[in-house]
Structure 1
């Protein structure tokens, strides 16, 4: 790999290749060498991958900022923008699908941190028209969410999805990361019959405030995550999430109380507080919100402590289905990441292998057990 050339192609903010490439990790995927940036550095996005043999660059997906209040948040962020597009933000597993080798290479699914997930790759090849798409658009990246109750990473239920499906929320240039404009992307995906996030409309930024509020009310009632608001060209975007999502994320964090840092917890409470103020919650409504927030903290943590006390497994529970070889590759991938997996069930259904498993939360399990046995805690 020519580091000088790669530095220029990536548009890094440093002139010294060593400053950037000391942060890359080297991995082997399918006999090829991947150089992976695991955290954003010098203007280059986390998850950026350089494939040594093909000299291909798969740009990482940019971090999406969040507004805590819609007004004046949206008009201020999109100042000078004629119109914005509003789409649902989905609660799933984010992967970029790209052809990163030479001609004839099959597409790969890259995670946010630049890993190639063998399971998601296999399911994408099975569920999406990748051959047709990349035959016409070989230098593009499909930015997708794998959603549904049966994935190895998330378990959110969506109406009409029994197992899992893909939704394309962005199409970008593989190397530069430049997005296809929102309207063009929606047309392009429709041509290939590819699912996309729900569309809430397009308007000028100040008018979008009310559209987003209405969308959030509807999504909150359904227990959905929120919205992403994008400039028409797709270059600028912000996200805004629902009360139910804030509480669901807190419940998740406190069900594994020693796996997540204080910043994770505090940020969700901050979001909820600003939303309560902007929503003009009455005293009764604020007490209801506070009660729900408190329950999302205490109840899952108590449940987990009881599970440890009773000897039950503690961790994230998942179900996956698919080709047996693809599932074997998935568990090898999880093992490579030093995860402890407790397989609870392994069976066949409708010609597919179905595995139920727990990603064991060892830190939470061990520390809870220590405290239950009389251990002390320094505070």
Structure 2
């Protein structure tokens, strides 16, 4: 039922030529910046499962609100894969997609037991029949044209701070590849370096390396490289400097997110869910918004707070 890891193209032209050597065309869909879930039914109820294999109570409530259960009753052998996107997102809140609260964008449908995906165009047609919101399809391109077309798409997506693309075999017999915008890499780094001692080293380093490969592939020189360096450096240093100053002034850093829900029981379930994940969080009192509730959450980043405070007290690295 899980979604396999998607490998990353670092240089588009050689990666596409090597990876998709057995096909004539590739499809390009948008890679959206949210959190990844699989949607199934258990005992007649829709549930949402995270990439890590956990049933998320908040995602489950939202999926039950978004989705037509007829799909699962008529296709019990299939699993929806989608990205939960929007500002009311307790994992990765984003306001860049013109989504008011939270929305599920379907990017794959697979067979439950085998994990075999539906061909891309068949999947899109089926999702459309049931009224599911889908990730954007930019087109199907001859393999030889794809690197240039994708570079053009990436430049435009970067201007609006979107994440990137997924490159797919139309029949979905070959595993997809992903490729992301520089602006998305830097946005990730900006958030991660705010909590520099909580973010994994591989997470940070890999995003810096991507910038080098993209600069080479795009044949950047002089001013373009300087601009990329400045954007990258600002993404790393400014948030870290702010964190050091704030902690030195007695501020405890927290990742502030929120969720919108219909049932307050979901708050208790989500608190327990985060506790089991080892995440310390402070929940606000619910705020009534129409017929729903907004609950704000402060997720405490203990390692960065403690490490930085110890430096202010004179400890060494």
TM-score > 0.5, shorter chain as reference: yes
Post-superposition offset of 1:157: 1.5
Instruction: State yes or no: 1:89 paired with 2:31.
Output: yes
Deviations 1:237-261 (A, max 9, x none): 1000000011111112111110123
CA RMSD of superposed structures (Å): 1.2
Instruction: State yes or no: 1:227 paired with 2:169.
Output: no
Among 49, 57, 62, which residue is 1:110 paired with?
49
Among 192, 196, 201, which residue is 1:262 paired with?
201
Structure index of larger Rg = 1
Post-superposition offset of 1:299: 0.4
Give the aligned partner of residue 343 of structure 1: 283
Post-superposition offset of 1:207: 1.4
Instruction: State yes or no: 1:80 paired with 2:22.
Output: yes
* In structure 1, distance between residues paired with 2:72 and 2:244: 49
Aligned residues: 315
Instruction: State yes or no: 1:333 paired with 2:273.
Output: yes
Give the aligned partner of residue 49 of structure 1: none
Post-superposition offset of 1:312: 2.5
Deviations 1:21-66 (A, max 9, x none): xxxxxxxxxxxxxxxxxxxxxxxxxxxxxxxxxxxxxx21101011
Deviations 1:146-166 (A, max 9, x none): 001111111112342111100
Give the TM-score taking structure 1 as reference length.
0.81
Map of 1:9-88 to 2, 5 A cutoff? 59-88=1-30
Map of 1:348-359 to 2, 5 A cutoff? 348-359=288-299
Among 343, 357, 366, which residue is 2:306 paired with?
366
Instruction: State yes or no: 1:290 paired with 2:229.
Output: yes
* In structure 2, distance between residues paired with 1:286 and 1:248: 18
* In structure 1, distance between residues paired with 2:224 and 2:164: 20
* In structure 2, distance between residues paired with 1:207 and 1:62: 27
Instruction: State yes or no: 1:124 paired with 2:67.
Output: no
Instruction: State yes or no: 1:376 paired with 2:311.
Output: no
RCO comparison, higher one (Cα < 8 Å, 6+): 2
Residue ranges of structure 1 left out of the alignment (5+ in a row)? 1-58
More deviation in 299-308 or 225-234?
299-308
Deviations 1:326-370 (A, max 9, x none): 222112211222211123553211121211111100011111111
* In structure 2, distance between residues paired with 1:172 and 1:213: 29
* In structure 1, distance between residues paired with 2:13 and 2:236: 29
